[in-house]
Amino acid sequence: MPRSFLVKKYFPYKKQHNRERYPESHTENFPLVELPSENSSALTCQPATLIFSVDILPRPHPLISPESLPPSPMGPLDLSSSPSCSSGEEEEDGGRTSDPPSPDTIQPIYHCLHCTKSYTSLSAFSQHQMSHQLPPCAPETPMTTEASARPVFHCKHCPKEYNSLGALKMHIRSHTLPCVCTTCGKAFSRPWLLRGHIRTHTGERPFACQHCSRAFADRSNLRAHMQTHSEVKKYQCGSCSRTFSRMSLLNKHSASGCCPSS
DNA sequence: CTGGGGACGGGGCCC
DNA sequence: GGGGCCCCGTCCCCA
């Protein structure tokens, strides 16, 4: 089951070929947008019960009592402060990263799921929740109700949701692109992506084919190449049993009408 | 049109 | 929890 392409639906800009994005600031080519203008935080808590103007918060399950969710558990997540992959001189990244709101703009608003009341004070909200007789339930000790009681972390830049903060933070890097190539300025979400990219500048090809003299800068490309040495390719047409080295080739094959029945 | 290469992205897993 | 790596995948280009 593909694991990544689903995401692409949320990133139409990715259709843009990278070479077309190289020339200048990747950031201008990275439409992080459709963000509510009044809130530049990277994340929002889509709240059935709570609304926080902070970067990261778990979206609470309706059954999770808000007192388990501090208004600002870690403060705004400053992703720009995550280990910078750029080697210097990119200190001021021109707002490439999602600028977290200044702390003084953070004001939690507690909305009760069970009625229309809202509170700016956690204690007042907690007090109010008691009136609804909600049992306490911390995110790490989710209630065992049918609906998953796991906290959901919601990315503000896109519709993606994660059940762990780490996964979300990793995902957010794909929006903030903290790893910058000092040669061409292209930005990447992860250091190893940057390293792979740097090989395109250096010409380093550490992944050699055992069957021929070819070498590749990218392991995935080597793997795809290895398919060309195989008599029977990895991807097989369900109708004509023809095999292909790449899924994309099989898809083309299917789209070309080889398999009218399918 | 097809096959292959280049570049890159994302989630999951492991340390 | 964070970083590195792996695997799987896409997109584009070109021969």
Q: What tens digit of pLDDT does each residue of A181-214 get? A: 888 888 888 888 888 888 888 888 888 888 888 8
Residue A170: what pLDDT? Answer: 80
CA distance A225 to A204: 17
Dump pLDDT digits (tens) for A108-160.
444 445 555 655 555 564 555 555 443 333 333 333 333 444 567 777 777 77
Footprint of strand B on the protein (CB under 7 A): A 3-4, 7-8, 11, 14, 18, 22, 160, 162, 167, 170-171, 174, 186, 188-189, 193, 196-197, 199-200, 214, 216-218, 220-221, 224-225, 227-228, 233, 244-246, 248-249, 252-253, 256
Pairwise CA distance, residues A146 & A181, whole Å: 47
C-alpha span between A42 and A98 (Å, rounded)? 6
Q: How far is the CA of A27 from the C1' of C4 (A)?
A: 25
Query: What six digits make up the tokens of A93?
Result: 């990244």
Interatomic CA–C1' length for residue A131 and nucleotide C3, angstroms: 45
Find the range with the poorest average confidence among A118-132, A163-177, A236-250.
Answer: A118-132
State residue A95 phi and psi, 5-degree precision.
75, 25
CB A251 within 8 A of CB A238: no
Report the protein residue whose CA lies nearest the C1' of nucleotide C10: A5
Domain boundaries, chain A: 233-261
Q: Please give the protein residue whose CA is closest to the C1' of the nucleotide C13.
A: A17
A190 touches strand C (CB under 7 A): yes
Strand C contact at CB of residue A36, distance < 7 A: no
